[in-house]
Amino acid sequence: MADRPRIIGIDLGTTNTLVASVKNRVPKIVPTDRGNLVLPSVVALSAKGEMLVGGVAKDQMVTNPKNTLYGTKRLIGRKYESKVVEELKSYFKYDIVPGPEGDAAVSLGGRVYTLPEVSSFILKQLKTIAEQFLGGPIDEAVISVPAYYTDSQRQAVKEAGRLAGLNVKRIVNEPTAAALAYGFNRGLDQKILVYDLGGGTFDVSVLHLTGNVFEVMATGGDTFLGGVDFDNRVVDYVLEKAWEEHKIDLSTSPIAMQRIKNAAEAAKIDLTLIPNVVIDLPFIEERKGKPVDVRIPLTRETLNALTMDLVDRTFELCDRVLKEKGIDRSQIDEVILVGGQSRMPLVQQRIHEHFGKPPRKGVHPDECVALGAALLAESLGSLDSVTLLDAVSMPIGYALPNGRVRRVIDKNTIIPLVKSFRLPAPKEPGAPFIEMDIFQGDSDLVVDNEYLGTLKVPAEAAGRKIDFRLNEECLLQVVVDDPSGPRRIELATRDTPELLKKELARVAQEKAEKAEKAAATPSSPQEGSRLLSSIKSIFRRG
């Protein structure tokens, strides 16, 4: 019998990426960059025009910040015009530009790269390293993503794998992968909470483990809460102290800022083990021909004070997830830590206080997601395979003309699933097509959710059954009944939803400004009619 193709598990992280494989039923991390177990999730263009990946790319962050890409996991699968990307433009030193399909992209050396392309460079490097270490070609992988990723982000990660020459057999949620690393083949019957505080995202999931059945009961998170946000608090502290002591504004110097970011991250890590550090930045600036040295003491207590609200936010999310399913804290048997930021003493102390028990120490927070992904990869198609009953992290629905979302799929519904409804009539009488803009997110308002795409079908399809199908990877398929049988519809992309969001935001602002005058000078029917026509015209474009 032919050997099964080699398959690996990959934890594609904001800060670092890991790859693992299973041998003799034991998962192990593959040594990657310079003999380390992690590959920095950094891509850079050198001065000579070479594409660099990993540690060598990270090395040039100080000297060439404009051409060094980091933290791109926060951008992948997002629209360029989205509120999130708009906020991130000032955060990163590299150029974020519109991509060919309206997605966020980046510019390096005068060329535009999509975010899946950027991630594919990292995955391709991992593929090469794993092939050299394991001694043979690798064509298949299971890749983990934050539980709170939207359909668009999951699709983008899958595309990154394809561009890297990998057949991505499965996308798995990071907390679920971590639970696999903890409970696989241990014969447990427990409710566990996975507290995943990584470099760029926070996820919390509650799972019921019964043997090798892993059921996600509830999940939640924040794709903008992670280790880099803790780093930024230290960076702001250093900038403030440098101004107080030397009256210099270091925020205007890209090279100085990169040095400060590196020093802030290093200081934060050191403070997990020791109570005091000194952030030492010699010759950070020059004044009147003389070098300016910055030396700033930082204690663990100060770091705790700077980041306490970030830690508090994680527990607000934990409580919200538990409340949604009516689970009491006392019902949680174990708390599993995932992600480098979960090593922070304050985090572990608060977990003990919040749940009445210390977090489980037997699972490596940096490695467990990759190990779990490898275990899932190895189990695919085998007799002793695991059963994953994962859940939808955010509702999915379609936009209504009033700027609200009608939900079709509710949060925390177990996947795979199918939800059916009847296609409505076209928005405008006599229109040749029915158009429905699909969104994903927790808000009831279009403006606060992520646009997934636009469903466009002939007007005669009104009244037919339409299915929203989510597979085991939480990827969306739309199927419409047709006289010849069920037909899958690809979602189109266009600018209309973003234009609609802007129009709705403008309308809301105008309403707020006119609220005080409304009683004295009520709006005329004609004015209201013009406003409705304005919004409808936005829907008709594209």
User: Does residue 193 sit within a domain?
Assistant: yes
In 356-404, beta strands by DSSP E:
387-389, 396-399
Give the pLDDT band (50/70/90) at residue 15. Answer: very high
Q: Which residues pair with 419 in a beta bridge?
A: 468
Q: Say how far apart CA 145 and CA 177 lie, in whole Å.
A: 9
b/e 106-115 (16+ beta carbons within 10 angstroms → b): bebeeeebbb
- 435 and 535 in one domain? no
In this predicted model, what pLDDT tens digit does every residue of 408-421 receive, in sequence order? 999 999 999 999 99
Q: Say how far apart CA 257 and CA 278 lie, in whole Å.
A: 17
Q: What is the CATH number of the domain that holds 236?
A: 3.90.640.10
- Would you say residue 259 has pLDDT above 60? yes
Where a domain ends, among 305, 330, 365?
A: 305
Map 161-209 to HEC letters: HHHCCCEEEEEEEHHHHHHHHHHCCCCCEEEEEEEEECCCCEEEEEEEE
- Cβ contacts of 11 within 8 Å, gap of 6 or more: 17, 18, 19, 20, 144, 174, 177, 369, 370, 373
- 357 and 263 in one domain? no
- Would you say residue 528 has pLDDT above 50? no
- Would you say residue 361 has pLDDT above 90? no
Q: What is the CATH number of the domain that holds 379?
A: 3.30.420.40
Residue 31 structure tokens: 């040594």
- 514 and 416 in one domain? no
User: Does residue 258 sit within a domain?
Assistant: yes
User: Does residue 206 sit within a domain?
Assistant: yes
Determine how β-strand 189-197 pairs with β-strand 334-338: parallel
- Would you say residue 3 has pLDDT above 90? no
Beta carbons of 77 and 154 less than 8 angstroms apart: yes
Q: How many domains does the chain have?
A: 4
pLDDT for position 398: 95
- 121 and 266 in one domain? no
Q: Report the SS3 class of residue 88.
A: helix
Q: Write 237-244 long-range contacts (CB < 8 A, 24+).
A: 237/296, 237/298, 237/302, 237/306, 238/263, 238/264, 238/279, 238/281, 238/294, 238/296, 241/294, 241/296, 242/284, 242/294, 242/296
Ranking 2-6, 257-261, 365-369 by mean pLDDT, the lowest is 2-6
What are the counts of helices (DSSP H) followed by strands (DSSP E) for the chain? 12, 27
pTM confidence score: 0.85
Average pLDDT over residues 525-534: 45
User: Does residue 155 sit within a domain?
Assistant: yes
Average pLDDT over residues 39-68: 93
pLDDT for position 67: 94
- Would you say residue 509 has pLDDT above 90? no
Residue 183 structure tokens: 């409970």
> Percent of the chain at pLDDT above 90?
72
User: Does residue 1 sit within a domain?
Assistant: no
- Would you say residue 78 has pLDDT above 50? yes
- Using alpha carbons, list the distances in angstroms from residue 477 to 203, 210, 408, 452: 25, 30, 13, 11
- 516 and 460 in one domain? no
User: Does residue 2 sit within a domain?
Assistant: no
Give the pLDDT band (50/70/90) at residue 495. Answer: very low
Average pLDDT over residues 74-100: 90
- 36 and 156 in one domain? yes
| Residue 55 phi, psi dihedral angles, 5° rounding | -60, -40
Q: What is the CATH number of the domain that holds 440?
A: 2.60.34.10
Average pLDDT over residues 292-315: 97
- 196 and 95 in one domain? yes
Q: Say how far apart CA 488 and CA 468 lie, in whole Å.
A: 10
Structural domain that includes position 415 = 396-498
- 67 and 177 in one domain? yes
Where a domain ends, among 252, 272, 305?
A: 305
User: Does residue 406 sit within a domain?
Assistant: yes
User: Does residue 70 sit within a domain?
Assistant: yes
Beta carbons of 453 and 404 less than 8 angstroms apart: no
- 430 and 292 in one domain? no
Q: Is 365 left (phi over 0), alpha (psi -120 to 50) or beta?
A: alpha
Where a domain ends, among 280, 305, 330?
A: 305
Beta carbons of 342 and 195 less than 8 angstroms apart: yes
Residue 200 structure tokens: 């760029």
Q: Which helix (H) or strand (E) holds 294?
A: strand 290-299
In this structure, the number of other CB atoms found within 10 A of the CB of residue 65 comes to: 18
- 361 and 275 in one domain? no
Q: Say how far apart CA 513 and CA 175 lie, in whole Å.
A: 44
Q: Say how far apart CA 413 and CA 429 lie, in whole Å.
A: 35
DSSP 419-440: EEEEPPPPSSTT-SEEEEEEEE
In this predicted model, what pLDDT tens digit does every residue of 415-445 receive, in sequence order? 999 999 999 999 888 889 999 999 999 999 9
- 168 and 262 in one domain? no
- 322 and 192 in one domain? yes
